[in-house]
Structure 1
Amino acid sequence: MSRAASTIIAIDGPAASGKGTLARRLARHYDFAYLDTGSLYRAVGQAVLAAGGSPADEAAALAAAEALDVNRIDEMAIRSREAGEAASVVAAMPKVRAAILHFQRDFAANPPGGKAGAVLDGRDIGTVVCPDARAKLFVTASPEVRAHRRWLELKGSGSAASEAQIVDDIRDRDRRDAERTASPMKPAEDAYLLDTSNLSIEAAFGAAVAIIDKAMS
C-alpha cells in the first residue's frame, strides 16, 4: 500500500491531555492501525535508564533509539514517571527524533494488518511526521486536570508520586516540548483544537468523530 492510499489521522497534544485514550478509540472506530509515538520515546528513555545511563547522554540515547525493537517494549516499565521524564529529555534530541521518524512515517504509509488507514498520536504528527494527514486534532486540557489524570494513572500502578509534584512535572515537560529546537510541540495550522478539560471520554470521542468525519468527507 502506498502512502497516498493510506488515510492518516494525526492526534497531537501535551502529556495526559487524553489524546492516547482518544486515539485508541478512534482507531477502533475507523478500523485503522494505531501507533502511540510517545511510547517510542519512552522506550528509548527507559532503555537508557535500565542500562544505568543518563537520558541527557545523547550518544546513549541515540544508540537506544537505533536499537529499538517495538516488539520488545515493556509497557509497564515505560509508563513510570521516570520513563516519562526521560522521554521528554531524549525527545528533544534531533538525532534521536531522526532515528524514530522513519519508523513513524513507514507505519503511517503502510499500516500493519492491511488496514486502510492509521491513527498516530504524539506531539509533532500533524506538523512534522505526517503533515499531509487527512484529519488533524490537537488535544489539550489544563495542567491541573492533566496532572490529576496522571496521578490517578500512577496511583493505580502503585506509585507514590504526589499530585503537586506531577503538576510541576507536567509544566516542565510542556515547556521542554514547546521550546525544543527539534520538532517543537505546537498545533498544526490546519489542526482542530479540542480541549478535554471539562469533557467526559464519551463527549471527547463524539466531538472527535464529528471533526474527523467532516474532514474526511
Structure 2
Amino acid sequence: MSNVSVGLPRINEPAPAFNVKTTHGERSLADYKGKWLILFSHPADFTPVCTTEFIGFAKAADQFKAMNCELLGLSIDSIYSHLAWMQSIKNNFGVEIPFPIIDDIKMEVAQAYGMIHPGAADTQAVRATFFIDPNGTLRAMVYYPMSNGRSIDEFVRLLTAMQTSDANQVATPAGWTPGCDVIVPPPKTPEAIAKRMGEGYDTKDWYFSTKSL
C-alpha cells in the first residue's frame, strides 16, 4: 500500500515521502538517503516520446550512478504494464531499463508531487522531473509538455552544477559546464563591497565576480 505525504512540493523543502511498489520491489524515499535521486514521470507506458526518454535515462544510468545519483521512474500504470513495456524496449531497441518504475495506479505519488496538471490530461502525469538531494530536500523541478521529450544531457549538467555549488559555495552562470568559471557570492555589507576589488576575483562590478575552480 502506498503512503505519501500531502501537499505540493516546493524547492528547498523536504520532498514528499513515499512508500511504493516498483518493478524492483518496494521503495521509499528513505531508501535513497545519502544519495541524490532523480524522480521522473511520464504520461503512459507504450508511448513513443516516453520510450525515447527511458532509453536516454537508461543509457545515462551509469553516469548518474557515478555521481551518487539514482533514477526512479513513474507513470499511472501497473507494474505489469511497466514490465511489458520494459521488455518491448529491450526487444525492439536493445536497451535494458536498469532503474525501478513506480506503480502509481491510484495517482498518490503523482498527486503529491504535482505531476497531474488540469487540462493536460485527466489521468496522465506530465513530464515532470524532480531532483532530490542526499538529505531528502527537493532541489529542482523541471516540467516538459506532453509533446516534447526531455534533454538527459541537461539533467546531467544541472546535477553537476548543483553538486559543484554545494561543494564550493558558489553559483554557476547560464550554460555552465565543468571547466568554466563560477560565480562568487556577492558581498552583503558596505565593508565587504570595499574589499571585493582586492580579493583576486574577476570582478566586473561589486555584485558580479567570477573565479576558476
Whichever structure has more helix as a proportion of its residues is: 1
Q: Which has the larger radius of gyration?
A: 2
TM-score > 0.5 by shorter chain:
no
Compare relative contact order (CA 8 Å, sep 6+) and give the higher one, 1 or 2: 1
TM-score by length of 2: 0.26
TM-score by length of 1: 0.26
Whichever structure has more strand as a proportion of its residues is: 2
